[in-house]
Copies of this chain bind each other. A is one copy, B any other.
Amino acid sequence: MSVLATTLSRKQRELINREELILDTAQTMLNEHGYNYVTMDRIAEAVEYSKGTIYNHFASKEDLVCSLCCRFIKNLIDVFEKAYNYDGSTRERYSAIGIGYSLYHQLHPLDLQNIQTLKNNAVREKVSDEKLCEMETLEQKITKISLNIVQDAIDCGDLDKKHQENISTIVFGCWSMHYGALLLDQSDIPLHALGFSPVVNMLWKNSNTYLDGYQWQPLSDSTDSKLLFEQISSALFGNEINTLKRTA
């Protein structure tokens, strides 16, 4: 940041700061009052600039929301990088990806709601191509990290070489399972009424079963998977996790 500060003009720095201010304000408003409350008028009023100025920064409301989503994905990338660097076997590192993903969304449930809003065609078609491209680039980073761990597993023999061609399928399998589970969880389907136990637990069990299906070593029945979950989650989130436990 200080590097940027010296190379950019005062004007440019002011523009960047203002854009951050708009995004911060929108995010707070969103977290506190929900999507329908967030209007361009209210944002303009809160940041004390005119609507025209907001439109100088963002081509549309959808572009603004997309910029928020990019922030969330950047946060996720940080989590994924921690998972990648987790000190353990490839299976543990890959498990850390899944745990990181599900716990991040437990900690920030509204982020996923927003991403979901943007994934909706009716909304996405209003986002400018540039913003969409920006988000896709970030999403590819995330995918890349996951793919790399599976590749590591094959290279070191934890995963059989015959799965070389299935790398992307394996990543997609875990991704879709987690994505779907978290969406089902937050969309108010009465999972409890249907006899479902809390989602994070089910996800942890299901992804273990799935990876066992690929014979990814070491298998889950040869490890203390409850302990492993604890270790990974505190490595990724530290004390933040305690907030979740207290509310649970």
Contacts and interface: CB of A to CB of B under 8 A. Distances in A.
Contacts of A191: 172
Contacts of A125: 34, 36
A72 interface: no
Interface string A153-190: 00000000000001011001101111111011011111
B121 A183 contact: no
Interface stretch (A42-50, A53-61, A193-201): A193-201
A240 interface: no
A205 interface: yes
A197 B136 CA distance: 18
A177 B172 CA distance: 9
A214 to B, nearest CB: 6
B184 A179 contact: yes
Contacts of A213: 208-213
Contacts of A180: 175-181, 183
A35 B197 CA distance: 35
Identical chains bound together, number:
2
A35 to B, nearest CB: 4
Interface in A113-147: 113, 116-117, 119-122, 124-125, 136, 139-140, 143, 147
B188 A168 contact: no
Contacts of A35: 121-122
A119 B212 CA distance: 32
A195 B181 contact: no
A21 interface: no
Nearest to A124: B188
A175 B187 CA distance: 14
A197 to B, nearest CB: 7
A194 B140 CA distance: 7
B122 A183 contact: no
B173 A119 contact: no
A16 interface: no
Nearest to A169: B202
Quick one: which of A173, A186, A205 has the most chain B CB within 10 A?
A: A173
A189 B190 CA distance: 29
